[in-house]
Amino acid sequence: MRISRDYRTLAREENGTLVWFWIGKHDEYIRRIRHQDNQKLSLKIILMLTIGNLNIPDFPLLLAPMEDVSDPPFRAVCKENGADLMYTEFISSEALIRDAAQSVAKLDIFEAEKPIGIQIFGHNIEVMRESVEITERVQPNIIDINYGCPVKKVTCKGAGAGILQDIPKMVKMTAEMVKATELPVTVKTRLGWDDNTKYIVEVAERLQDVGIRAIAIHGRTRRQMYKGEADWTLIGKIKDNPRMNIPVFGNGDVDSPQKASQMRQQYGVDGIMIGRAAIGYPWIFNEIKHYFATGKLLPPPSIDERIAVFRKHLDFSIEWKGLKLGLLEMRRHYTNYFKSIPHVKPFRYRLVTCDSYDGVLGIVEELRKHAYQYTERTDQFAYSPSPN
Ligand SMILES: Cc1cc2nc3c(=O)[nH]c(=O)nc-3n(C[C@H](O)[C@H](O)[C@H](O)COP(=O)(O)O)c2cc1C
């Protein structure tokens, strides 16, 4: 393997094909390819995107940080189904420096799920800086700052989206965190505090200037919480800003390959972050990738596939959290795992009230037979984003 510093490529030969991992802007890569026209070797180019010292496939699909959802079991099934970069749920910096067991446990990351970002939040700059040092010890690929959480008990202290009411502090906190680590620091935030303070275009540039290596933006204000439709217009404006050179990831309401494609084309983002649509439906990542590559939709997963992935998720969840909590926290995933199967409601009710492992498996087996009644082809339950 050779590394060319000039062109920022990594190249290796695989069975007579020169495989190039291109790390840089696309136009540079096209120019470089022209230089190579006379070369006899066949070339396979893999475009890469850079976040600080991290290189990941171009146009990555990111699993959003989600409290009580984006834990190791869920991340494992998302990774297997195409997520390129994942984040932990947010972790309180105050709790980290107090060494609170529940928060420290959220730092647990596995080699197989890398690249991974650990997300932290807080209102005190010194505490945030210290928590960067603690986080660094578990060697994530990225440290992400949460400036987007809209929940009152977080924002009232000036943490999460609360800091959108004090942009100078947001910039200062970010600068201090960048200085505290060699790891790439990224930010996830919203458009602004409310309709009158949607300063995200300027904010993104200021955060870039103090050293963040990527930014993800949820196209809502804090006031909107999760209501209304996400508006990506300002995310597109950030991409139009010629001073911006870090990756900009769009987030909000992407729940199908077609929507992902529309947002990619319309707003020119560098990747897409997906949250709710992945809950109980980790297939969304590969479905989007397939659609980008071929323009065609993959058939939805069969009932057998759904049950297989569900079981993997459930087993890891129990192994990770213990029987009681593992079962309890799987409940939020049931709806989507078994979405669009006709007359599924009574099964769902039984699943969310069942508190034994064997009981859950029994209900799922009944559900399998129930689904078979409707069709011999078990792949016919098309996914629809609206719950039935
Ligand atoms: C249950 C839940 C928990 C969330 N927890 C976090 C969190 O810990 N950190 C964060 O930055 N965003 C969090 N979010 C916001 C998501 O990361 C994402 O920005 C939002 O859901 C919009 O994306 P989507 O439409 O793809 O779901 C959470 C969202 C949900 C639904």
For helices 303-321 and 323-337, angle between their N-to-C axes, nearest 10 degrees: 160
Rounded CA separation 388/384 (Å): 9
Distance 200 CA to ligand 1 centre (A): 18
Distance 66 CA to ligand 1 centre (A): 5
Pocket test for ligand 1, best of 61, 62, 66 (most atoms within 8 A of CB): 66
Distance 255 CA to ligand 1 centre (A): 13
**CB 131 near ligand 1, within 6 Å:** no
Rounded CA separation 21/339 (Å): 39
What pTM did the predictor assign? 0.90
DSSP summary character for residue 52: T
Kindly report the protein residue whose alpha carbon is nearest to atom 23 of ligand 1: 252
Each residue's pLDDT tens digit, 72-98: 999 999 999 999 999 999 999 999 999
User: Which atom of ligand 1 is closest in space to residue 144's alpha carbon?
Assistant: 11
Which has the closest alpha carbon to 310: 252, 371, 386, 376? 371
Check if the beta carbon of residue 106 is closer than 8 Å to that of residue 96.
no
DSSP assignment of 275-340 equals: -GGGTT-TTHHHHHHHHHHHS-PPPPPPHHHHHHHHHHHHHHHHHHH-HHHHHHHHHHHHHHHTTT
pLDDT value of residue 276: 96
Count Cβ atoms below 10 Å from residue 352 Cβ, excluding itself: 14
Distance 275 CA to ligand 1 centre (A): 6
Domains, in order of start, for the chain = 2-51 (no CATH), 58-294 (3.20.20.70), 303-374 (1.10.1200)
User: Which atom of ligand 1 is closest in space to residue 230's alpha carbon?
Assistant: 25
Which has the closest alpha carbon to 92: 120, 129, 123, 133? 120
pLDDT tens for the chain, 388 residues long, are 333 344 455 667 666 666 666 666 555 565 555 555 555 555 666 788 999 999 999 999 999 999 999 999 999 999 999 999 999 999 999 999 999 999 999 999 999 999 999 999 999 999 999 999 999 999 999 999 999 999 999 999 999 999 999 999 999 999 999 999 999 999 999 999 999 999 999 999 999 999 999 999 999 999 999 999 999 999 999 999 999 999 999 999 999 999 999 999 999 999 999 999 999 999 999 999 999 999 999 999 999 999 999 999 999 999 999 999 999 999 989 988 998 889 999 999 999 999 999 999 999 999 999 998 876 554 555 544 433 3
DSSP assignment of 62-89 equals: EEPP-TTTSSHHHHHHHHHTT-SEEEPP
